[in-house]
């Protein structure tokens, strides 16, 4: 485990504390940023174009012009990408960080994960805040639950269309790519028939995650 991180396994939950932004953690963020932001597959295909410097400039361009509350969400989502890639061995992110249409932050599902051990998808909603009490944490968890539930029940086909585009950017063509594509198409509201509905619902996983956020100033030297 990276220096500066503390992991608590408590029953069915895993809590990750960032106790120190260590040099190891900073290095990990740098190494993952291009893949998280643009998609690991296309970065591997063209690493010179999708360089760290190129990606950092895009990220900071969007970050600097956002309000304080939106900045909290951007940092929370970025850390969620980075940390679960470190913590989990069975879950693989199939989402990109940026909004593909507007070169901004994403709209729709925050992060989708593929569980290769049981061939299922996990739909994720990230909520960020600066409160430190247990009560406030529960507020954020409820917001996550309500947010993801609303999206899953909305039957907005564009959510799944966007996820399929992300898949192309993150995972190269192959067996896993085909499996994930089939799962997304099956979960898609336009492809569900009454006979398939029960099967589809059983494949939904849910991660409710939140970030306790203390305001930070982005240090260009760190990045």
**pLDDT surpassing 90 at residue 34:** yes
Range of the domain at 187: 5-212
What's the mean per-residue pLDDT of the chain?
81
Q: How many domains does the chain have?
A: 1
Per-residue pLDDT, 204: 41
On the 0-12 / 13-18 / 19+ scale of CB atoms within 10 A, 156 is middle
Is residue 188 one of the residues assigned to a domain? yes
Per-residue pLDDT, 195: 44
Is residue 125 one of the residues assigned to a domain? yes
Is residue 220 one of the residues assigned to a domain? no
In the block, residue with structure tokens 């809590």: 15
Is residue 150 one of the residues assigned to a domain? yes
**pLDDT surpassing 90 at residue 35:** yes
Is residue 129 one of the residues assigned to a domain? yes
Per-residue pLDDT, 151: 87
Per-residue pLDDT, 50: 95
Is residue 108 one of the residues assigned to a domain? yes
H/E/C letters for each residue in the chain? CCCCEEEEEECCEEEEEECCCCHHHHHHHHHHHHHHHHCHHHHHHCCCCCCHHHHHHHHHHHHHCCCHHHHHHHHHHHHHHHHHHHHCCCEEECCCCEECCCCEECCCCCEEEEECCCCEEEEEEEEEECCCCHHHHHHHHHHHHHHHHHHHHCCCHHHHHHHHHHHHHHCCCCHHHHHHHHHHHHHCHHHCCCCCHHHHHHCEEEEEEEEECCCCCCCCCCC
Q: Report, as an integer, the average pLDDT of 141-159.
A: 86
**pLDDT surpassing 50 at residue 95:** yes
Is residue 42 one of the residues assigned to a domain? yes
Name the pTM for this structure.
0.81
Please give the structure tokens belonging to residue 111. 């992060």
Per-residue pLDDT, 168: 95
Is residue 219 one of the residues assigned to a domain? no
């Amino acid at each position: 485990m990276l220096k500066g991180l503390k992991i608590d396994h408590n029953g069915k939950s895993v809590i990750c504390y960032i106790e120190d932004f260590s040099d190891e953690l900073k290095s990990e963020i740098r190494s993952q940023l291009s893949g998280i932001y643009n998609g690991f597959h296309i970065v591997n295909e063209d690493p010179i174009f999708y360089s760290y410097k190129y990606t950092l400039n895009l990220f900071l361009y969007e970050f600097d012009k956002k309000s304080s509350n939106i900045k909290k969400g951007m940092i929370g989502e970025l850390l969620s990408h980075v940390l679960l890639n470190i913590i989990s061995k069975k879950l693989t992110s199939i989402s990109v960080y940026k909004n593909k249409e507007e070169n901004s932050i994403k709209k729709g599902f925050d992060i989708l994960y593929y569980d290769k051990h049981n061939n299922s998808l996990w739909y994720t909603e990230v909520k960020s805040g600066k409160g430190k009490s247990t009560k406030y944490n529960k507020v954020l968890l409820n917001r996550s639950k309500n947010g993801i539930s609303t999206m899953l029940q909305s039957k907005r086909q564009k959510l799944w269309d966007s996820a399929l585009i992300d898949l192309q950017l993150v995972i190269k063509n192959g067996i896993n790519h085909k499996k994930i594509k089939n799962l997304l198409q099956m979960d898609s509201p336009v492809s569900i028939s009454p006979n398939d509905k029960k099967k589809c619902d059983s494949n939904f996983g849910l991660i409710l995650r939140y970030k306790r956020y203390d305001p930070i100033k982005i240090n260009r030297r760190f990045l």
